[in-house]
Amino acid sequence: MTAFVTGATGFLGGRLAHLLCRRGEEVTVLARATSDLSGLPDTVNIAQGDITDREAIERGLDAHSDVDVVYHLAARNDLGEPDPALMQAINVDGTRNVLEAAAERGLVSVYVSSATALGPTGSKAEDESWWAPSVPQASYAITKRRAHEVAHQLAENGARVRIAMPGYIYGAGDPTPLSGVLKRYIDARIPIGYLPEVWQSFVHVEDCAELLTRIASRGRDGESYLAVERAASMRELFETMGQLAGQRPALFWMKTSLVVRMSGLAILFSALTGLGKAEMRESLAMVAGGHWSFSGEKAKRELGWQPRELSAGLEDVVAALRNP
Ligand SMILES: NC(=O)c1ccc[n+]([C@@H]2O[C@H](COP(=O)([O-])OP(=O)(O)OC[C@H]3O[C@@H](n4cnc5c(N)ncnc54)[C@H](OP(=O)(O)O)[C@@H]3O)[C@@H](O)[C@H]2O)c1
């Protein structure tokens, strides 16, 4: 197969590009003029362009007319981004640009949405049919939901779009703030755990990349697949990380309800986690409205996907955080 990948210079996209190249597939990546290409495999073709520029995407696709599948991962993946218009332009309009350009050429697209697009849940694990009435007031959540709707609508109109919805993607090199929080936790003299009662859904970055290739080769047009090994509480995440790192159990847990209600505790939370003000506000908005508890059973059942267990995957994370 010949693949066209957006977001290949990112955390998940880099793993996907390497996986495809290891399998002998021809890969073209769409990268910005400013993108750091140093982590990409030597064998990829580079098409320069930004997903907000429809013509650049079309040029990239047309220069490689044997493309079979477009993996669209590029997004602004930040909490606390001060410019909501930028998030809209990249995450929503950019997604429309890529998926429409692929559809006009009759190509299969695997769009990487997010479990976030489905909205918060209770603690019971929900499947792909879940759709909460709203998402938290965070530009990332709002724009990923809109982009998900764009992808869904294009599929309903006949585009060959397949949607992957990862939960929290963890692994060595994770650029998200939670990775920094976990590093502080395992290194701390007095370990403090955060938001222990919140349920989150986890997938290892390598398993997530593997699932994207399965969706491309065996998935069905118009279908959505949650990329989730399983849901677990944040307490379990911190405790497992602590055990693997030889850290003693947390001496204090900052519960969501306390941090949200008590401004003094919120300031302490920000200082201890290293999150900036806007990042903290949106991070708390993400968890104040419920859990993010989802099941990846459909991908396991229909696509034969076998992701690794959370504790096995976290061993990699601890090793990487200990030896950066
Ligand atoms: N990480 C998670 O836990 C998670 C969970 C669920 C879903 N997702 C989704 O998975 C996808 C990949 O996430 P990630 O964690 O790998 O993100 P990431 O590390 O932040 O990578 C983002 C990628 O998008 C590219 N990009 C950003 N704006 C662009 C633009 N205007 N034009 C072209 N490329 C642009 C970046 O290129 P540069 O190198 O030029 O910046 C980079 O390659 C995203 O769609 C994200 O929403 C992530």
Which pLDDT score, from 0 to 100, does residue 74 have? Answer: 98
Output the six-digit token pair for 89: 């332009």
What's the rounded Cα separation, in Å, for the pair 225 and 214? 11
- The CATH code of domain 2-174+200-230+293-310 reads 3.40.50.720
| 8 Å CB contact between 310 and 230 | yes
Output the six-digit token pair for 118: 């489905």
Domain limits of the chain?
2-174+200-230+293-310, 177-196+234-288
Residue 227 β-bridge partners: 166
Residues 6 or more apart from 250 whose CB is under 8 A from it? 185, 191, 192, 193, 238, 239, 242
Mutate to test the pocket of ligand 1, among 73, 90, 142 (most ligand atoms within 8 A of CB): 73
Q: What is the average pLDDT score of the chain?
A: 94
Alpha helices in the chain (DSSP H): 11-22, 54-62, 84-87, 94-104, 139-156, 177-187, 205-218, 234-245, 256-261, 263-273, 277-288, 297-303, 310-322
Compute the distance from residue 273 Cα to the ligand 1 centre, in Å.
Answer: 23
Angle at 230 between CA 136 and CA 88, to 5 degrees: 30
Band (202; pLDDT cuts 50, 70, 90): very high
Compute the distance from residue 104 Cα to the ligand 1 centre, in Å.
Answer: 24
**Each residue's pLDDT tens digit, 262-287:** 777 777 888 888 888 888 888 888 88
Ligand 1 site, CB within 6 A: 6-7, 9-13, 32, 34-36, 50-52, 73-77, 90, 94, 112, 114, 144, 166, 168-169, 175-176
The separation between CA 49 and the C-alpha centre of its own chain, rounded to angstroms, equals 22
Output the six-digit token pair for 100: 């429409």
Angle at 303 between CA 300 and CA 304, to 5 degrees: 60
**Each residue's pLDDT tens digit, 106-131:** 999 999 999 999 999 998 999 999 99
Residue 70 β-bridge partners: 4, 109
Which pLDDT score, from 0 to 100, does residue 213 have? Answer: 98
Q: How much is the pTM?
A: 0.96
Residues in the chain: 324
Protein residue with its CA nearest to atom 33 in ligand 1: 50
* Residue 174 CB neighbours (<10 A): 20
